Amino acid sequence: MALITVRQLTKEYVRTRPVRGRFGTLRTLFTREKERTLAVDHIDFTVDEGEVVGCLGPNGAGKSTTIKLLTGVLWPTGGTVEVAGPDGPAVPWRDRKRIARRIGVVFGQRSQLWWDLPLIESFKLVAALYDVPGPRYAGNLARLRRLLELDPFLHTPVRQLSLGQRMRGDLAAALLHDPPVLYLDEPTVGLDVLAKETVRGFVDEANRSGRTTVLLTTHDLADVERLCRRILLIDHGRVLYDGPVDGLVRRYAPHRDVLVRLDGAEPAGDRLTLDGFVGEREHDGRWRFRVGRDEPVHRLLAAAGDGRRIRDLSVVESNLESVVRELYRDRREG
Ligand SMILES: Nc1ncnc2c1ncn2[C@@H]1O[C@H](COP(=O)(O)OP(=O)(O)OP(=O)(O)O)[C@@H](O)[C@H]1O
């Protein structure tokens, strides 16, 4: 069942175009020229209960704007978002109280905690804000303390926490009121490998045992590989791809690279055609052949070994990282 429904969601930012040159700041105050950015462009998607969806896209693609619309931080220019619940669907920017009970949010770049208060005091404030009943608060806090290993810094002011500790505190604060939906905007940004793994392990646990539905944006593809079965690839404010992770690889990289090092007679140039396969010479002298997933590699190898010796061979399958790298590069060059 769809828990989150997004229909034709659109956000256009409009700001006054800054005037450059002499008295630019002053002249900007009086100019009528507007600069428009269509950050989110009529996007549609739904998220079912229990899913973990990873939102990917290059810088400026519209991911953060989408999360801000989903959480109600921003009003859209058009379209709608609904989060289902027992007392009917809630629209983030309109039904603030109901939506607050249904969602938890963590922004990796910005803490939601009170900077000067010890972590535990921030938790008490969050519980009061969300009207979490005493016994439920106690139960949830005990579970979150254990899962996120919060005890060593529970009484430390937030400003003194390391980034990894602060992130664990933010995750706990976001889930103290048991929301069915968790939005994470770059939850592992800036963390070391161990801290990243703690965050990923926790999100996985919240999803599996707590059935929390998760939508996260990230630039770290390991987050997606570890947590998400589904990807939303966003670019220029549009959804380019919505589906399983391996489906993205299959759609955008229906091939693998075969690298061979040859002994014996070789052409002088940088290209070598063997039985219809075209190879290009790498810097290290190997030949790189792109072979379709369904094409037989043995045909290439038979042709390569004809009159020469194959000294070395490796097959490089495309993975999420190589596909995403190519997609982002196309966008930059396109
Ligand atoms: N407050 C704003 N006013 C005007 N334009 C904005 C504002 N916030 C974002 N934008 C523009 O909207 C577009 C989408 O930005 P957004 O921050 O949503 O992208 P993103 O995918 O989250 O990027 P990143 O990966 O760099 O965080 C960009 O062109 C950005 O410059």
Domain ranges of the chain: 2-250, 254-317
Half-sphere exposure of 242 (CA within 13 A, CB side): 8
Name the pLDDT band for 333 (thresholds 50, 70, 90).
Answer: low
d(CA 63, CA 6): 14
Tell whether the model's pLDDT for residue 265 goes beyond 80.
Answer: no
> Which whole-number Å values give the CA distances from 21 to 16, 97, 257, in the listed order?
16, 47, 52
Nearest C-alpha neighbor of 212 from the set 12, 10, 53: 53
Q: Are 32 and 40 in contact (CB under 8 A)?
A: no
Ligand 1 within 6 A of 59 CB?
Answer: yes
Give residue 6 CA to ligand 1 midpoint distance, Å. Answer: 19
Ligand 1 within 6 A of 108 CB?
Answer: no
- Tell me the mean pLDDT in the region 248-257: 85
Nearest C-alpha neighbor of 318 from the set 222, 253, 241: 253
CATH architecture under which domain 2-250 falls: 3-Layer(aba) Sandwich (3.40)
* pTM (two decimals): 0.85
What sign does the CA torsion over 136, 206, 223, 57 have?
negative
- For the stretch 274-328, pLDDT in tens is 889 999 999 998 999 999 888 888 999 998 888 888 999 999 888 888 888 888 8
Tell whether the model's pLDDT for residue 214 goes beyond 90.
Answer: yes
Residue 281, number of CB atoms within 10 A of its CB: 15
Ligand 1 within 6 A of 169 CB?
Answer: no
Half-sphere exposure of 119 (CA within 13 A, CB side): 28
d(CA 220, CA 136): 34
Ligand 1 within 6 A of 39 CB?
Answer: yes
DSSP letter assigned to residue 85? -
- β-partners of residue 193 are none
Name the pLDDT band for 334 (thresholds 50, 70, 90).
Answer: low
> Which whole-number Å values give the CA distances from 85 to 5, 49, 88, 96, 181, in the listed order?
12, 11, 5, 13, 11
d(CA 247, CA 326): 16
Give residue 323 CA to ligand 1 midpoint distance, Å. Answer: 23
Ligand 1 within 6 A of 60 CB?
Answer: yes
Ligand 1 within 6 A of 63 CB?
Answer: yes
Pocket perturbation via mutation, ligand 1, pick of 37, 66, 234 by most ligand atoms within 8 A of CB: 37
Q: How far is CA 238 from the centre of its chain?
A: 15
Give residue 63 CA to ligand 1 midpoint distance, Å. Answer: 8
Pocket perturbation via mutation, ligand 1, pick of 63, 66, 69, 110 by most ligand atoms within 8 A of CB: 63
Pair type for strands 2-16 and 78-83:
antiparallel
Longest distance between any two alpha carbons in the chain, whole Å:
80
Average predicted confidence (pLDDT) for the chain: 91
Name the pLDDT band for 57 (thresholds 50, 70, 90).
Answer: very high
